[in-house]
C-alpha cells in the first residue's frame, strides 16, 4: 500500500493508504479529522468539501493517493490562529447560517472558495455557487445572508480576508 | 429595544462554535476501542420468499467475524407500532411482527436479511457480496387500491389482508355530514396525491453497539431524536434488555425531521452482534441505503369534498384517504394518518360537520412514518386546496372565503367537530399580517411586470393550524397511544452557582443548548453562560420522550420551568434560613433573595454555596443540596397557526415554476429566541417548497425505487428557493403551559405546500388556462401537460 505525505492545515502529515481510499476517509479514519462529513455517496451533497492547493474539492471524489505532496485545508483549519472563529465562520454564527451543523463544514469551505473568486457576489451568484451543497435545515436563507455578511466584512477590512 | 439575553433575545447559538470548527461529535465521528464494522445484505426485490441463505463463503472472507440472519432474531420480540388504531368496525388494526432482520420473506427493496461483521467496513461490504441468498421473487404489491382489492397476494400472509385499518373520525359524525352534503347548495370536490418524500437529514443514520461481558451492560450510540424511547423499544419490546443494562446515547445528530424518531433494526443488530463477538460493532449507513431504509413521509391519496352555501360559508367537509404504510409498521406510522391528520381537518375554520375516513395499506415499499409535520401537512394540503378550488368556483376572493369561515377570537376555547379543543388564536391577525409583509396590495403590479416578460404570475394563500406540543398523556392514552407523552427535566445547581439542566428533549439542529439556557437564565436572573444544557444520554438525564411534533419547548421546556420553580422554592427556604427570616417574607427577584421591606439580601450564588456548605441547617426541615426534577404532562395540545402567501412565475411554454416570493406570518404564542424561530420557519418552508415542486419518492410497478440517490431524488438547492419574509409578531400565548409557547418546528412544512400549489393554479388561471389541479410535485412536465390538456 502506498505512503502519502501532504500538508494538512499547515501541518505535515503522512499515512499509508489503500489505492481505493478516498480522501475523505483518509482524513476521517486515517487522521482523525472528523470535521469533514459524508452526506451522500454520489458526490452530490457537498458536506465533504475541502480545499486542495487552494481549490475547493469534494473529498469523496478524490483518492487520497492522488494527493501526495498537496496542501489540504479542512474546516479544522479555518479558525484564526488564536482559535477564534474566522470571518466566514463568525458570519455563519451571527446570521444563524447553520442548524444541525452537518452540512456546515462543506458550506463554509464552499463559501471561502466563492469569496476568493468573487469578493462581492450578488444573492443570485451565491445561490448559483452553492449548487453543489445541500442543506436540509435552513432553507438556505440564512446561509446566503451569512455569506453576504462575510463578504461585506472582508471588503470592509481586507486584512480579515487573508 | 431588543433584549440581549434571556427570554425574547436572539442569543447567538453556543453550539455553533463546535459545528463551525469541525469539533461537532456526530455518531460517525466516534470510534470505540476495538470496534468492528457491520454491513447489511439487503433485498434487491420488493417482494420475495427467502428459500435459503448460505453464509459459508461470506464467513470465510478476510476479516469476517460473524454473519447474522433473521434466524438469530427468531426468539426476540418485534419492533412495535407505538399506537393502536381501532377500525370503524371495532376491530384492532393488523399488526404484523417486524424482526430486525427479515425472516421468511423480504418485503421491500432494501429490507435487510443478513448482516456481516468484519474488522473493517470494506471487508464487511466485500463479504456481503459473498453471501449466497436464494430469494424467490414474488409479485410486488405497490398500488394501494390494488393492495386493498387483492387478497390473494399479501405483504404479510399471516394477517390475511393488506388493509391495516379502516378508520373513521368521528364515526358518529358521519350521518350528519352526509346529510349536510345532501342538502348543500354547493359541493367542491378534489382528488389529490400527497407525494411520498424521503426525509433526507443530511447526516445518515449510524449506530455503534457495545456489549460489556464483564458487567452485562449494553451501550448504544445512535442517531436518535429520542434516546429514551429507543431504549424503551429495544429493551422492553425487541431484545428484552432491562433498562438498567442499556444506555442509549445520541450525541450531535445531523438533522432528523422525524426519520430519527424510530427504532430501526440495525440498532438491534449491532447490539446483538456485539454480544456475539464480544467487541463493539459500528454501522454507518450510506445515502443509498438511507433512501431504502429511512422511513419515508406522506404518501396519501385523498378525495376531499367541501359543502358550502352560495356565499361560501362552509357547511361540511368529508374526506376519504388511502395512507401507505409501506411494508412494515414503523413506530408512529399508524397515528400519523389518523390522530395527527383526521383531527386537523377542521383547520382554523368553524365548519360544523367534518368526517374523515382513512384506510391504511401495506405495500411492498419502504415503510412510511411521520416526517416534519406528520399528518398535519396532509390535512392542511387537502383542506387548503379544496377551499381554493371552491373560492374559484364561487367567484369569491381567496382571502375573503377564509375570513368568513375563521373561528373568531371570542370563540375560544373552541371545540372542533373532530374533537380538538383549540385554546387560543387570532387567524384574521396572521392573514392581515401576511398581506402586509407579502405586499399583497402590490401583487397586481408585479403580475403585470411578469406578464410583460411572457410569464404568468400567481398568488397562493394558505391559512394553517396544527396541533402540536405532543401531547397530553391522558388524551393520547384514550386514543390508543402505548406511551405517555409527558417530559422530564432535572435542574442541578452546583455549589458555585452554575447549573446543569438535564432535559428529555434532544437537539438535532433546533438550538436547545442556547434556547433552554435562555429560559432558565430568565427565571433565575443569572447569566446564560452559567447554564449547561445536557441532553441525549439516558445515563445522564432522568427520562424523556424526545423531540418531534414541535414539542421540545412546549413540553420539555415546561418541565424545565417546573423544575426551576422548585429550585426557587427550595432556595427561598435556604435564603430564609441564612437571613433568619420567615420564608414567606423572602422575595426572589433579579437573581436575589430579599427579605421584604428590609435591605437584607442574598444572591443566588450565595444561596447555592450555602446549600452545599450546610453547617447549621435544621436538617429535619431543610435538606442540603440544590437539585430538583419535574415531570410535566401538558393539559392540551398547543395550536400554532399562521397565514402564508406564495408568489410564483410560471413559464407557459415550458411549464417551469419559479417561486419568486414567499411570506409567512405565524402565531407561535410567546417566542424565546426570534432568530432561532425564524430559522425554523425558513427550513420548514424550504422543505415545503421541495415537496410542492420537486421531491417525490417513486417506485415502479415492481416496487423498485427509481429515486435512490441525489442524482434522482430532487432535493431543493439554494437556487430553487427564494429569500423568505417571515414574521411571528401576532402572538396569542398558549393558555396552558407556563411559557405560553406553542411550537414552531413543523409550521413551515405544514403551511407552505398548498400556498405554492394554489399559486401555480392562480398563475395558470390568470392566463386563461383552465387548470384546476396539478398533483405535487408540480414539475415542469406536469404543468406543461396540464396546460396542453386544457387547451
Tell me what pLDDT residue B150 has. 84
Residue of A nearest to B27 (CA): A34
Burial A4-35 (b: 16+ CB within 10 A, else e): bebebbeeebebebeeebbbbbbbbbbbebbb
Between A20, A42, A94, which is nearest B12 by CB? Answer: A94
CB contact B597 to A (< 8 Å): no
Closest-CA residue to B284 (of B128, B109, B120, B106): B120
Pairwise CA distance, residues B137 & B108, whole Å? 11
Assign residue B597 a region: left if phi > 0, alpha if psi is -120 to 50, beta otherwise?
left
Helix (H) or strand (E) holding A87: helix A87-94
What percentage of chain B has pLDDT greater than the value 70? 100
Examine the pLDDT at A57 and tell me if it is beyond 50. Answer: yes
Examine the pLDDT at B728 and tell me if it is beyond 60. Answer: yes
Tell me what pLDDT residue A162 has. 47
| Most B CBs within 10 Å, among A36, A100, A149, to test the B interface | A100
* ipTM exceeding 0.95, yes/no: yes
Residue A99, min C-alpha distance to chain B (Å): 4
The SS3 call for residue A156 is helix
Examine the pLDDT at B200 and tell me if it is beyond 70. Answer: yes
Pairwise CA distance, residues B448 & B456, whole Å? 9
Tell me what pLDDT residue B166 has. 98
Q: What is the mean pLDDT of chain B?
A: 97
Widest pairwise Cα distance in chain B: 90
Between A78, A104, A140, which is nearest B686 by CB? Answer: A140
Residue A127, min C-alpha distance to chain B (Å): 5
Task: Provide mean pLDDT across the span B612-641.
Answer: 96
Residue contact A102–B709, C-beta within 8 A:
no
Residue of B nearest to A27 (CA): B29
Between A78, A137, A141, which is nearest B723 by CB? Answer: A141
Band of residue B471 on the pLDDT scale cut at 50, 70, 90: confident
Q: Model confidence over B345-373: pLDDT tens digits?
A: 999 999 999 999 999 999 999 999 999 99
Closest-CA residue to B262 (of B83, B96, B511, B436): B83
Cβ pair B633, B545 in contact under 8 A: no
Q: Model confidence over B637-654: pLDDT tens digits?
A: 999 999 999 999 999 999
Tell me what pLDDT residue B1 has. 62
CB contact B455 to A (< 8 Å): no
Residue of B nearest to A35 (CA): B22
Residue contact B19–A98, C-beta within 8 A:
yes
Task: Provide mean pLDDT across the span B568-584.
Answer: 97
Beta-strand runs (E) in B121-184: 132-137, 163-169
Pairwise CA distance, residues B525 & B605, whole Å? 11
Examine the pLDDT at A106 and tell me if it is beyond 70. Answer: yes
DSSP conformational letter for B368: B
Examine the pLDDT at A97 and tell me if it is beyond 70. Answer: yes
Closest-CA residue to B482 (of B167, B81, B169): B81
Pairwise CA distance, residues B314 & B404, whole Å? 9
CB contact B724 to A (< 8 Å): yes
Residue B16, min C-alpha distance to chain A (Å): 6
Residue contact A139–B748, C-beta within 8 A:
yes
Pairwise CA distance, residues B431 & B403, whole Å? 8
Tell me what pLDDT residue B212 has. 98
Tell me what pLDDT residue A1 has. 87
CB contact B745 to A (< 8 Å): no
Residue contact B19–A126, C-beta within 8 A:
no
Examine the pLDDT at B727 and tell me if it is beyond 60. Answer: yes
| Most A CBs within 10 Å, among B14, B19, B284, B727, to test the A interface | B19
Pairwise CA distance, residues B351 & B405, whole Å? 7
Q: Residue B398: how many CA atoms within 13 Å on its side-chain side?
A: 25
Residue contact B22–A34, C-beta within 8 A:
yes
Between B254, B711, B718, which is nearest A100 by CB? Answer: B254
Pairwise CA distance, residues B592 & A122, whole Å? 51
Task: Provide mean pLDDT across the span B449-453.
Answer: 98
Residue contact A140–B684, C-beta within 8 A:
no
The SS3 call for residue B128 is helix
Task: Provide mean pLDDT across the span B398-406.
Answer: 98
Tell me what pLDDT residue B76 has. 86
Residue of B nearest to A33 (CA): B22
Which residues on B lie below 8 Å from A18 (Cβ)?
122
Beta-strand runs (E) in B434-574: 456-465, 487-493, 499-503, 531-534
Closest-CA residue to B239 (of B274, B285, B284): B274
Task: Provide mean pLDDT across the span B492-512.
Answer: 97
Which residues on A lie below 8 Å from B26 (Cβ)?
34, 37, 102
What backbone torsions phi and psi does residue A102 show, to the nearest 5 degrees? -75, -40
Residue B601, min C-alpha distance to chain A (Å): 38
Pairwise CA distance, residues B440 & B448, whole Å? 14
Pairwise CA distance, residues B262 & A101, whole Å? 21
Which residues on A lie below 8 Å from B203 (Cβ)?
37, 39, 100, 102
Strands B281-284 vs B300-308: parallel, antiparallel or unpaired: unpaired
Residue contact B28–A45, C-beta within 8 A:
no
Residue B307, min C-alpha distance to chain A (Å): 37
Helix ranges, B10-61 (H) = 16-20, 56-59
Between A28, A102, A134, which is nearest B710 by CB? Answer: A134
- How big is the A-B interface in CB pairs under 8 Å? 178
Residue B709, min C-alpha distance to chain A (Å): 7
Cβ pair B634, B743 in contact under 8 A: no
Which residues on A lie below 8 Å from B122 (Cβ)?
18, 20
Between A40, A99, A138, which is nearest B710 by CB? Answer: A40
Place of cell 426572589: B588
DSSP conformational letter for B481: B
Residue contact B711–A74, C-beta within 8 A:
no
| Most A CBs within 10 Å, among B39, B202, B691, to test the A interface | B202
Q: Model confidence over B227-255: pLDDT tens digits?
A: 999 999 999 999 999 999 999 999 999 99
Place of cell 437571613: B579
Listed by number, the residues of chain B in 101-130 with a beta carbon closer than 8 Å to a beta carbon of chain A are 122
Pairwise CA distance, residues B280 & B218, whole Å? 10
Which residues on B lie below 8 Å from A133 (Cβ)?
717-718
Tell me what pLDDT residue B229 has. 96
Cβ pair B583, B570 in contact under 8 A: no
Pairwise CA distance, residues B441 & B38, whole Å? 59
Residue of B nearest to A21 (CA): B122
CB contact B717 to A (< 8 Å): yes
Residue of A nearest to B718 (CA): A127
Between B18, B23, B203, which is nearest A39 by CB? Answer: B203
Amino acid at each position: 500500500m502506498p505512503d502519502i505525505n501532504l500538508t494538512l492545515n499547515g501541518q505535515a502529515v503522512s499515512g499509508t493508504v489503500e489505492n481505493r481510499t478516498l480522501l475523505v476517509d483518509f482524513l476521517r479514519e486515517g487522521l482523525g479529522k472528523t470535521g469533514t462529513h459524508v452526506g451522500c455517496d454520489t458526490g452530490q451533497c457537498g458536506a465533504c468539501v475541502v480545499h486542495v492547493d487552494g481549490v475547493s474539492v469534494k473529498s469523496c471524489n478524490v483518492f487520497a493517493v492522488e494527493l501526495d505532496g498537496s496542501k489540504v485545508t479542512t474546516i479544522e483549519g479555518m479558525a484564526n490562529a488564536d482559535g477564534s472563529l474566522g470571518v466566514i465562520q463568525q458570519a455563519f454564527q451571527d446570521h444563524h447560517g447553520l442548524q444541525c451543523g452537518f452540512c456546515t463544514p462543506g458550506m463554509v469551505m464552499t463559501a471561502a472558495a466563492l469569496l476568493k473568486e468573487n469578493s462581492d457576489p450578488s444573492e443570485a451568484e451565491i445561490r448559483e455557487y452553492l449548487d453543489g451543497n445541500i442543506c436540509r435545515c435552513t432553507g438556505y436563507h440564512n446561509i446566503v445572508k451569512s455569506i453576504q455578511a462575510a463578504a461585506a466584512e472582508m471588503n470592509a477590512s481586507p486584512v480579515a480576508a487573508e | 429595544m431588543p433584549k440581549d439575553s434571556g427570554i425574547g433575545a436572539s442569543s447567538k447559538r453556543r453550539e455553533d462554535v463546535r459545528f463551525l470548527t469541525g469539533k461537532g461529535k456526530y455518531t460517525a465521528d466516534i470510534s470505540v476501542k476495538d470496534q468492528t464494522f457491520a454491513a447489511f445484505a439487503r433485498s434487491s426485490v420488493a417482494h420475495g420468499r427467502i428459500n435459503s441463505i448460505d453464509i459459508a463463503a461470506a464467513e470465510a472472507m478476510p476479516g469476517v467475524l460473524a454473519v447474522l440472519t433473521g434466524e438469530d432474531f427468531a426468539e426476540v420480540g418485534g419492533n412495535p407500532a407505538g399506537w393502536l388504531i381501532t377500525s370503524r368496525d371495532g376491530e384492532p388494526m393488523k399488526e404484523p411482527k417486524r424482526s430486525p432482520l427479515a425472516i421468511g420473506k423480504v418485503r421491500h427493496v432494501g429490507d435487510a436479511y443478513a448482516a456481516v461483521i468484519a474488522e473493517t467496513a470494506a471487508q464487511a461490504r466485500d463479504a456481503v457480496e459473498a453471501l449466497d441468498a436464494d430469494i424467490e421473487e414474488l409479485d410486488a404489491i405497490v398500488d394501494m387500491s390494488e393492495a386493498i382489492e387483492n387478497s390473494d397476494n399479501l405483504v404479510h400472509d399471516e394477517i390475511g389482508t393488506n388493509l391495516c385499518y379502516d378508520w373513521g373520525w368521528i364515526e358518529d359524525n358521519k350521518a350528519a355530514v352526509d346529510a349536510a352534503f345532501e342538502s348543500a347548495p354547493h359541493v367542491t370536490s378534489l382528488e389529490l396525491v400527497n407525494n411520498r418524500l424521503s426525509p433526507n437529514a443530511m447526516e445518515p443514520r449510524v449506530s455503534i453497539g457495545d456489549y460489556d461481558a464483564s458487567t452485562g451492560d449494553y451501550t448504544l450510540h445512535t442517531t436518535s431524536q429520542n434516546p429514551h424511547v429507543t431504549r424503551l423499544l429495544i429493551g422492553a419490546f425487541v431484545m428484552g434488555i432491562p433498562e438498567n443494562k442499556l444506555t442509549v446515547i445520541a450525541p450531535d445528530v445531523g438533522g432528523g425531521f422525524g426519520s430519527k424518531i424510530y427504532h430501526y433494526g440495525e440498532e438491534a443488530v449491532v447490539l446483538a452482534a456485539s454480544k456475539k463477538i464480544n467487541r463493539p460493532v459500528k454501522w454507518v449507513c450510506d445515502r443509498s441505503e438511507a433512501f431504502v431504509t429511512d422511513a419515508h413521509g406522506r404518501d396519501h391519496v385523498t378525495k376531499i369534498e367541501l359543502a358550502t352555501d352560495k356565499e361560501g360559508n362552509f357547511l361540511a367537509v368529508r374526506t376519504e384517504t388511502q395512507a401507505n404504510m409501506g411494508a412494515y409498521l414503523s413506530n408512529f406510522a399508524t397515528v400519523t394518518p389518523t390522530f395527527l391528520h383526521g383531527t386537523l381537518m377542521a383547520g382554523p375554520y368553524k365548519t360544523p360537520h367534518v368526517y374523515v375516513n382513512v384506510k391504511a395499506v401495506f405495500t411492498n415499499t419502504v415503510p412510511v412514518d411521520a416526517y416534519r409535520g406528520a399528518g398535519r401537512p396532509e390535512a392542511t394540503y387537502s383542506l387548503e386546496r379544496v377551499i381554493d378550488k371552491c373560492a374559484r368556483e364561487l367567484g369569491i376572493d381567496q382571502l375573503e372565503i377564509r375570513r368568513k369561515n375563521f373561528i373568531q377570537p371570542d370563540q375560544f376555547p373552541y371545540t372542533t367537530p373532530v374533537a380538538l379543543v383549540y385554546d387560543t388564536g387570532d387567524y384574521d391577525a396572521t392573514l392581515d399580517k401576511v398581506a402586509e409583509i407579502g405586499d399583497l396590495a402590490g401583487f397586481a403590479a408585479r403580475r403585470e411586470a411578469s406578464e410583460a416578460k411572457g410569464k404568468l404570475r400567481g398568488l397562493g394563500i394558505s391559512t394553517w393550524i396544527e396541533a402540536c406540543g405532543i401531547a397530553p398523556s391522558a388524551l393520547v392514552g384514550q386514543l390508543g397511544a402505548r406511551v405517555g407523552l409527558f417530559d422530564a427535566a432535572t435542574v442541578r445547581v452546583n455549589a458555585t452557582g452554575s447549573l446543569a439542566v438535564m432535559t428529555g428533549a434532544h437537539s438535532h439542529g433546533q438550538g436547545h443548548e442556547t434556547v433552554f439556557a435562555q429560559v432558565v437564565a430568565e427565571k433565575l436572573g443569572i447569566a446564560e453562560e452559567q447554564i449547561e444544557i445536557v441532553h441525549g444520554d439516558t445515563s445522564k438525564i432522568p427520562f424523556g420522550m424526545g423531540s418531534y411534533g414541535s414539542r421540545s419547548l412546549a413540553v420539555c421546556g415546561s418541565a424545565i420551568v417546573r423544575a426551576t420553580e422548585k429550585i426557587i422554592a427550595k432556595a427561598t427556604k435556604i435564603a430564609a434560613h441564612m437571613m433568619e427570616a420567615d420564608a414567606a417574607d423572602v422575595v426572589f427577584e433579579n437573581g436575589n433573595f430579599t427579605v421584604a421591606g428590609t435591605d437584607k439580601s442574598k444572591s443566588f450564588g450565595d444561596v447555592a454555596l450555602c446549600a452545599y456548605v450546610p453547617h447549621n441547617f435544621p436538617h429535619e426541615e431543610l435538606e442540603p443540596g440544590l437539585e430538583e426534577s419535574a415531570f410535566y404532562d401538558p393539559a392540551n395540545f398547543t395550536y400554532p397557526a399562521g397565514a402564508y402567501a406564495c408568489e410564483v412565475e410560471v413559464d407557459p411554454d415550458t411549464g417551469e415554476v419559479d417561486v419568486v416570493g414567499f411570506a409567512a406570518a405565524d402565531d407561535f404564542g410567546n417566542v424565546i429566541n426570534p432568530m432561532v424561530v425564524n430559522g425554523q420557519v425558513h427550513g420548514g418552508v424550504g422543505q415545503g417548497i421541495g415537496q410542492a415542486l420537486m421531491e417525490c419518492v417513486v417506485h415502479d410497478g415492481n416496487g423498485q425505487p427509481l429515486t435512490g440517490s441525489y442524482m434522482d431524488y430532487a432535493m431543493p438547492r439554494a437556487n430553487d428557493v427564494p429569500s423568505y419574509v417571515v414574521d411571528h409578531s401576532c402572538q396569542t400565548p398558549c393558555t396552558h403551559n407556563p411559557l405560553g409557547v406553542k411550537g414552531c418546528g413543523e409550521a413551515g412544512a405544514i403551511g407552505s405546500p398548498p400556498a405554492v400549489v394554489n399559486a401555480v393554479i392562480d398563475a395558470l388561471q390568470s392566463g386563461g388556462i383552465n387548470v384546476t389541479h396539478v398533483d405535487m410535485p408540480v414539475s415542469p412536465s406536469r404543468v406543461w401537460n396540464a396546460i396542453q390538456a386544457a387547451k
